[in-house]
Amino acid sequence: MKIKLLPLVISCVLFTSVSQAQTPSIHLNKAPAASEAVWKDDSKKMDAFIDELMAKMTLKEKIGQLDLQAGKGQLTGSYRNKGYAKQIKAGHLGAIFNTVGAKQTRMLQEIAVEETRLGIPLLFGYDTIHGLKTIFPLSLGEAASWDLEAIEKSARISAEESAASGLHWTFAPMVDISRDPRWGRVSEGAGEDVYLGAQVALARVKGFQGDDLSKPDTIMATAKHFAVYGAAEGGRDYNSTDVSERTLRSVYLPPFKALVDAGVSTFMTAFNDLNGVPATGNDYLLNTILRDEWGFEGFVVTDYTAVEEMVDHGFAKDSKHAAELGLNAGADMDMVGQNYFKHLEASVKEGKVSVATIEKSVRRILEMKYRLGLFEDPYKYSDIKREKKVVLSKENLLAAQDVARKSMVLLKNDNKALPLSTDIKSIALIGPLADSKADMIGSWAGLGDRKTMPVTVLEGLENKLGDKVKINYAKGASYNYKGNTNKGFGAAMVAAKKSDVIVAVMGESEKMTGEASSRTTLTLPGNQIALLRELKKLKKPIVLVLMNGRPLNLNWADENVDAILETWFSGTMAGNAIADVLVGDYNPSGKLPMSFPRNVGQIPVYHSMKNTGRPFSDDLKGGAWNYSSRYENLPNTPLYAFGHGLSYSSFDYSDIKLSSNTMKMGGSIEASVTVTNTGDYDGEEVVQLYIQDLVGSVTRPVKELKGFQKLMFKKGESKQVSFTISEEELAFYRRDMSYGAETGDFKVFIGTASDKNKVAKFSLVDK
């Protein structure tokens, strides 16, 4: 496994000394190597075992290994197969998903292992996205922590719960870069940025797969959705995508490539077509890039019914044709649709698919079963005792609470509205999300309970404050798009009138986020803003606690409320974590992983945009028309920039010191700042490094994130924070599509957000 470590040097100036884990950088175009660290196989032994097994398999048994069916438990798409027990008994089924539980999986595994001719164990998969039963914050929320250790821990715990419940495989992480908050699935990824996206993806895979896939508490991860799903036109789910080769390789592929290098076990194809070719039948993506260029050794599964959807795409004439296109393109396993199972035997007879192609895919799947250790002990994951002990353990719940606190982003905090003063005697807790258990855990929340377990904000504040503070709760408004009356406003006003401060918990319903949940507006839905307007008339401090799965349009709130705390959907322990932050037991440290636009018309708005030939200017020269790249009615900047996030403390940044103003090709320089906690609280700060290449053989973004460090600063503490800049941070796809840096001038920015930083300049020169 080749992961280059980018050295991050931190030295202490005044008080303490900190050492920081090294952050792996992203390799875009290096020859990959097998992932020995995770897959501890003796490949000769494995090859011999699989050769022998495959020699005994009939063609039908081989094709069966390529079939993945949805279990009876849960529906994560609109169609499911029935009656797979017969197929297992015949030895014609390779894998099942959506059947969870040590007992249930063991029952089916026994049929596969003990009642079939060859006893090949089944694989059990599931969408453990941000937790199995202990639910962590929504993936986008977790990314907002910029805390790679916390993210890895969340994935580790999710893997432990899944593995104890009979699962071998999660369909996560989703690593689709997206710059369109209309798309509901931005909630499942890590946001707009390539570098942050790859780092978060790596942490998740490390957490799921651990350092040894054969251990009974590690599971296979899936890099999905390959590729460019996040660029769906208009932000409408499943929509077509069209991106240039340069954008494909510079923006959408790097997180996937980083995961191949880190030994991710499987890939999932995307639903969309890319430049006219559906991703599931896309030989260029699956064979040329993934296998030939990157040397991926795991297997590729399609998304749910994505094979036959190639018929609707107008790419295949029927499901048999679709099966042939999918398999030949490199999609090894067919999810749900059974197109391979029904048609491939005939396709072989007709010469449309070769036995060798089928065998290649079968081998990849058997190899992963072997690496999981299933041929040695097919039942080691289905352990009822372990399941009872591990799932929803107290430690897991506490860890979920901690990750939830770390994921929250303080967007605004005027008049020191937060943390709530200890003088406060009463709180008006208002809003449709203040006491809604069903919404707390968000979309794609595994088997998370939505009825009793999730802690709401009302409960969290009661747990925290007991009788010391009176909480006057009223739902007040609704987040539903339609059918709202303002009947609840009266009770909300009564509650607010008798309280010292108003805490409004508002946002989206969890159903408005995730798959098939695109929106054309980003304002707070329903009559929530109307209620806030009424509350505002009382002239009391208003704290807005947001729950949502995407960037929202918060213009009104930004102008009218005192504080805004973005909490996403923060999981089973949401209410306790939010209470921790509201009262100041935890000082918020999250930073936005996606820009929050001022309105939908600005989309896409992201920090690594290009300058254009007529950069934005507000200057209406002599009152004449302004011919710069701008909107008539709004600035180009987002309301809240990528990387933005306040703290209860404040941090001062010194000017940047460079170890040299020139860097030689092949060399490196250090860029350092001294950061001082100048506020009244201990707190963490994410120190962010951005770079701009001023002139290139192709136009370059105005800045790109190239590193970050999340560090704790005690009150009054200063630390020198240093980043090493090498060619790697300056490299890009040049005019001729070769990858590397070009000599010339660069700007380096270090700061607290993409729009608030110090700047220095250096030049890259030939050796």
Which residues are tagged catalytic?
A: 303
Q: Min. distance of Cβ 182 from ligand NOJ in angstroms?
A: 17
Pairing, β 10-12 against β 169-170:
unpaired
> How far does CA 725 lie from the centroid of its chain?
26
What is the C-alpha to C-alpha distance for residues 117 and 112, in angstroms, rounded to an integer?
Answer: 9
Phi-psi region of 666 (alpha: psi -120 to 50; beta: other; left: phi over 0): left
- The β-bridge partners of 718 are 676
Q: Min. distance of Cβ 92 from ligand NOJ in angstroms?
A: 21
Residue whose entry in the numeric block shows the structure tokens 């900047």: 637
Residue whose entry in the numeric block shows the structure tokens 């020198």: 720
Collect all residues with Cβ–Cβ distance below 8 Å to 720 and sequence separation of at least 6: 10, 11, 12, 13, 672, 673, 674
Is the Cβ of residue 266 or residue 589 nearer to ligand NOJ in the bound state? Answer: 266
Q: Read out DSSP for 162-203?
A: HHHBT--EE---B------TTSGGGGGS--S-HHHHHHHHHH
What is the C-alpha to C-alpha distance for residues 271 and 67, in angstroms, rounded to an integer?
Answer: 18
Q: How many residues bind ligand NOJ (CB under 6 A)?
A: 8
Is the Cβ of residue 332 or residue 515 nearer to ligand NOJ in the bound state? Answer: 515
Residue whose entry in the numeric block shows the structure tokens 């945009």: 609
Q: Min. distance of Cβ 303 from ligand NOJ in angstroms?
A: 5
Among 225, 367, 362, smallest CA distance to 282 is for: 225
The Cα diameter of the chain in Å comes to 86
Is the Cβ of residue 271 or residue 596 nearer to ligand NOJ in the bound state? Answer: 271
Q: Min. distance of Cβ 462 from ligand NOJ in angstroms?
A: 36
Q: Min. distance of Cβ 229 from ligand NOJ in angstroms?
A: 8
Q: Contact between 239 and ligand NOJ (CB under 6 A)? A: no
Q: What tokens does 232 get? A: 């769906």
- Cα distances from 622 to residues 364, 385, 626, 629, 636, in angstroms, run 68, 78, 10, 18, 21
What is the C-alpha to C-alpha distance for residues 129 and 137, in angstroms, rounded to an integer?
Answer: 10
CB 122 within 8 A of CB 167: no
Among 95, 151, 54, 186, smallest CA distance to 513 is for: 186
Q: Min. distance of Cβ 183 from ligand NOJ in angstroms?
A: 12
What is the C-alpha to C-alpha distance for residues 714 and 652, in angstroms, rounded to an integer?
Answer: 13
**What one-character DSSP code corresponds to residue 743?**
S
Q: Is the dihedral of CA 104, 109, 110, 112 positive or negative?
A: positive
The residue whose Cβ lies closest to ligand NOJ is 76
Q: Contact between 127 and ligand NOJ (CB under 6 A)? A: yes
Is the Cβ of residue 278 or residue 683 nearer to ligand NOJ in the bound state? Answer: 278
Q: What tokens does 642 get? A: 């990528």
What is the C-alpha to C-alpha distance for residues 733 and 735, in angstroms, rounded to an integer?
Answer: 7
- Cα distances from 367 to residues 53, 101, 618, in angstroms, run 11, 24, 60
Structural Rg of the chain based on CA atoms: 26
Q: Min. distance of Cβ 26 from ligand NOJ in angstroms?
A: 23
Residue whose entry in the numeric block shows the structure tokens 């974590």: 577
What is the C-alpha to C-alpha distance for residues 137 and 513, in angstroms, rounded to an integer?
Answer: 13
Residue whose entry in the numeric block shows the structure tokens 């490390």: 206
Q: Min. distance of Cβ 172 from ligand NOJ in angstroms?
A: 8
CB 565 within 8 A of CB 408: yes
Q: Min. distance of Cβ 573 from ligand NOJ in angstroms?
A: 25
Among 180, 515, 704, 717, binds ligand NOJ (CB under 6 A): 515
> CA angle, corner 403, sides to 577 and 507, nearest 5?
55
Is the Cβ of residue 259 or residue 504 nearer to ligand NOJ in the bound state? Answer: 259
Q: Min. distance of Cβ 538 from ligand NOJ in angstroms?
A: 45
**What one-character DSSP code corresponds to residue 114?**
H
Is the Cβ of residue 75 or residue 118 nearer to ligand NOJ in the bound state? Answer: 75
Is the Cβ of residue 79 or residue 481 nearer to ligand NOJ in the bound state? Answer: 79
Q: Min. distance of Cβ 65 from ligand NOJ in angstroms?
A: 19
Is the Cβ of residue 302 or residue 676 nearer to ligand NOJ in the bound state? Answer: 302
Touching ligand NOJ, residues 332-391 (CB under 6 A): none
Phi/psi for 610 (5° steps) reads -95, 165
Is the Cβ of residue 305 or residue 396 nearer to ligand NOJ in the bound state? Answer: 305
Q: Contact between 171 and ligand NOJ (CB under 6 A)? A: yes
Element (H, E) at 339: helix 339-349
What is the C-alpha to C-alpha distance for residues 757 and 688, in angstroms, rounded to an integer?
Answer: 8
> CA angle, corner 404, sides to 399 and 409, nearest 5?
150
Q: Min. distance of Cβ 76 from ligand NOJ in angstroms?
A: 3
Is the Cβ of residue 225 or residue 249 nearer to ligand NOJ in the bound state? Answer: 225
Touching ligand NOJ, residues 29-88 (CB under 6 A): 76-77
- The β-bridge partners of 361 are none
CB 410 within 8 A of CB 563: yes
Among 61, 142, 152, 303, binds ligand NOJ (CB under 6 A): 303
Q: Contact between 668 and ligand NOJ (CB under 6 A)? A: no
Q: Contact between 304 and ligand NOJ (CB under 6 A)? A: yes
Is the Cβ of residue 272 or residue 709 nearer to ligand NOJ in the bound state? Answer: 272
> CA angle, corner 531, sides to 526 and 535, nearest 5?
160
What is the C-alpha to C-alpha distance for residues 681 and 672, in angstroms, rounded to an integer?
Answer: 24
Q: Min. distance of Cβ 444 from ligand NOJ in angstroms?
A: 8
Q: Contact between 224 and ligand NOJ (CB under 6 A)? A: yes
Q: Contact between 169 and ligand NOJ (CB under 6 A)? A: no
Element (H, E) at 124: strand 123-126
Residues that bind ligand NOJ (CB under 6 A): 76-77, 127, 171, 224, 303-304, 515
